[in-house]
Amino acid sequence: MNAPDLVEIRPFTMDDISAAYQLWQGSAGVGLSGADEPPAISAFLQRNPGCSFVAVAAPDRLAGTILCGHDGRRGYLYHLAVAPAHRRQGIATELVQRSLSALAVAGIQKCHLFIFHENETGLAFWQAIGWTLRHDIQIMSHHIELAVT
């Protein structure tokens, strides 16, 4: 499925960070932390060139985002978000496909994502496009205090 002609899908650039952050702030199911501040997103994009994408509606309005990266073994998707006025047009599916294609080019054969338990809309979307909810693993986190330089 291709995104509508009125929306351009292109790589996520540093210039998109501010608009993306605004979209994420208004998107239910997207959790934000210090790791989503502009310097951190900039570093993520630099480490994973050509894997993250945005959907831009005329005139230069951000309609959707996806962050994608890998560790050389597994891919990871973050912050798939589509503005309410642009939902149900295939944009999210196209963003996912672009990122998965970029991972395939990098030789990555498996991709994971994190989703909040209460995000029923998100769970339904991911399952509808063929993703499997796993019950055999859990995620654990540890906060690392950064050294001040």
Question: What are the residue ranges spanned by the domains of the chain?
Answer: 7-128
1 pLDDT higher than 50: no
What's this model's pTM, rounded to 2 decimal places? 0.91
Q: What is the pLDDT of residue 59?
A: 74
Q: Can the peptide bond before residue 49 be classed as cis, meaning omega within 30 degrees of 0? A: no
DSSP assignment of 77-109? EEEEEE-GGGTTSSHHHHHHHHHHHHHHHTT--
Give CA–CA dist 134/50, Å, rounded.
Answer: 28
- For domain 7-128, the CATH superfamily is Gcn5-related N-acetyltransferase (GNAT) (3.40.630.30)
Cβ-contact 87, 4 below 8 angstroms: no
pLDDT per position as a tens digit, 11-58:
999 999 999 999 999 999 999 999 999 999 999 999 999 999 999 997
**In the predicted model, what is the mean pLDDT of the chain?**
93
Number of helices (H), then strands (E), in the chain: 4, 5
Pick the residue with more confidence: 142 or 60? 142
Q: What is the pLDDT of residue 12?
A: 98
Q: What is the pLDDT of residue 148?
A: 77
pLDDT per position as a tens digit, 38-48:
999 999 999 99
Q: How far is CA 146 from CA 32, 35, 141, 143, in A?
A: 18, 12, 15, 9
Give CA–CA dist 50/71, Å, rounded.
Answer: 14
